[in-house]
Amino acid sequence: MEHKERSHRSYEWGMEMNHEPKILVVDDDPMNLMVLEATLKQLGYGVLTASTGKEGIEKAQQEKPSIILLDVMLPDISGFQVCEAVKAQRALANTPVVMVTALGDRESRLKGLEAGADEYLVKPIDRVELTLRLKNLLKVKAYNEYLEGMRNILEAEVAKRTQELQRAYEKLDEAYLEIIHRLGRAAEFRDDETGAHIQRMSHYCRILAREIGLPPEKQKEIFYASPMHDVGKIGIPDGILLKRGPLSPEEFEIMKKHTIIGAKILSGSEHPVLKMAETLALTHHERWDGSGYPHNLKGKEIPLEGRICSLADFFDACTSPRAYRPAIKIEEVLGIIKEAKGKHFDPLVVKAFFKALEEILATKEKYTDASEGERRTEKLPPR
């Protein structure tokens, strides 16, 4: 009775090879096929056969054999071409290929190796040599598969950790931006302006930045930075900040300091939003013609963000009611802005303002002071 010479159930590098290794034999000679099939079965291997190169490639793709024994001389395509085709496929690239031929010459061996063959056997096949070669190739294959499995596990783990890190970063960034936003609200609380003012300011600034053509990243930064433009009001005494009616020249000098105080509060950060907030705090009262404060900057000496914030702040202040005056009519405010083009305001920003006027007015309607109670619990707008 035929018996298998050895069992292929073994443990290799922690992997259990509990399946019978399948050897695909590709040979056009029926006698060779029969002899090899019988020998391999006796050695305990499962055997698949193919008698042409194309059939060999098809069976390799379908059956994923453990090893391919490949005759060089085939009726359709050469064994070298079959070997190349097999090695070119990702799923089969690790499948060992043994070229089997009657040609023992150096050129054929080199050609076989060039085609990616792993081993070379010369007919007539020595049974002991065949046994040892197959055993070694199976070990190498199991080792390669183990390494590939480990690499896949590691890659999946790295991808998972990267995703977790990304989520943690996003959460941190959200919390950071929310704190910045709430700092802006805190600064506004003592004033008669409401939280809706900084909501509108954010949107006006972003609309203007977009209309001027600033990149999306800058639009985002100005959106989050603009609520802090008046954070320096924290340092202004109540008697001046909350005074009903016009300020005396001395009081106004103190009031002007909210720009410098705000910039000091926000200075020294590496975060782009806080850096921009510092710029806005310092420059939002500068004027295009140099008549603003605190440094009487003129024209393009004033950072563009500051020029944007200046117009947005002015428009919102004029169109919002104050304890000492009602809101100024839109038409009147638009007239003032037109008149102040090239004087108080940068002509470029004024142009952008009128181009986006419809959207600005819609934003004004959406974020009204009356709805402030609701807005205090509103989530931050999407970034």
* Interface contacts to Fe ion, rule CB under 5 A: 230
C-beta closer to Fe ion: residue 96 or 306: 306
Nearer Cβ to Fe ion (120/224): 224
Between 72 and 231, CB nearer to Fe ion: 231
CB contact set of 232 (below 8 Å; sequence gap of 6+): 187, 257, 258, 259, 260, 261, 262, 263, 264, 265, 281
Least distance (Å) between residue 284 CB and Fe ion: 6
Q: How far is the CB of 228 from Fe ion (least distance, A)?
A: 11
Cβ distance to Fe ion smaller for residue 193 or 221: 193
- Report the Cα–Cα distance between both ends of the chain, in Å, rounded: 77
Q: How far is the CB of 365 from Fe ion (least distance, A)?
A: 24
Minimum CB distance to Fe ion, residue 317 (Å): 9
Sequence letter at residue 73 = M
By beta-carbon proximity to Fe ion, the closer residue of 218 and 233 is 233
| C-alpha–C-alpha distance, residues 94 and 89, integer Å | 9
What DSSP character marks residue 342? T
Residue 272 identity (one-letter amino acid): P
Shortest separation between residue 294's beta carbon and Fe ion, angstroms: 11
Which of 327, 322, 333, 380 has the alpha carbon at shortest distance from 360?
333
Q: Write out the two tokens for 260.
A: 């410098």
Which residues sit opposite 121 in a β-bridge?
A: 100
CA nearest to 89, candidates 68, 110, 74, 120: 68
The string of DSSP letters for 292-338 reads: -SSS---GGGS-HHHHHHHHHHHHHHHTS-BTTBPPPPHHHHHHHHH
Minimum distance, C-beta of residue 367 to Fe ion, in the bound complex (Å): 19
Least spacing, CB of residue 166 vs Fe ion, in Å? 37
Q: Closest CB to Fe ion among 118 and 230?
A: 230
CA distance 370 to 375: 10
Smaller CB separation from Fe ion, 43 or 231: 231
Q: At its nearest, how many Å lie between Fe ion and the CB of residue 164?
A: 42
Helix (H) or strand (E) holding 100: strand 97-101
**Residue 262 Cβ vs Fe ion, minimum distance, rounded to whole Å:** 8
Shortest CA distance to 190 belongs to which of 235, 224, 223, 138?
235
Residue corresponding to tokens 């090695």: 87
Which CB, 211 or 230, lies closer to Fe ion?
A: 230
Q: Residue 168 Cβ, how far from Fe ion at the closest point, in Å? A: 36
Residues 6+ apart with CB under 8 A from 202: 223, 224, 226, 227, 381
Rg (CA), the chain: 39
Q: Which is closer to Fe ion, CB of 230 or CB of 286?
A: 230
Residue (139 or 264) nearer to Fe ion, CB: 264
What residue is closest to Fe ion based on CB?
A: 230
Helical packing angle, 195-212 and 127-189, nearest 10°: 120
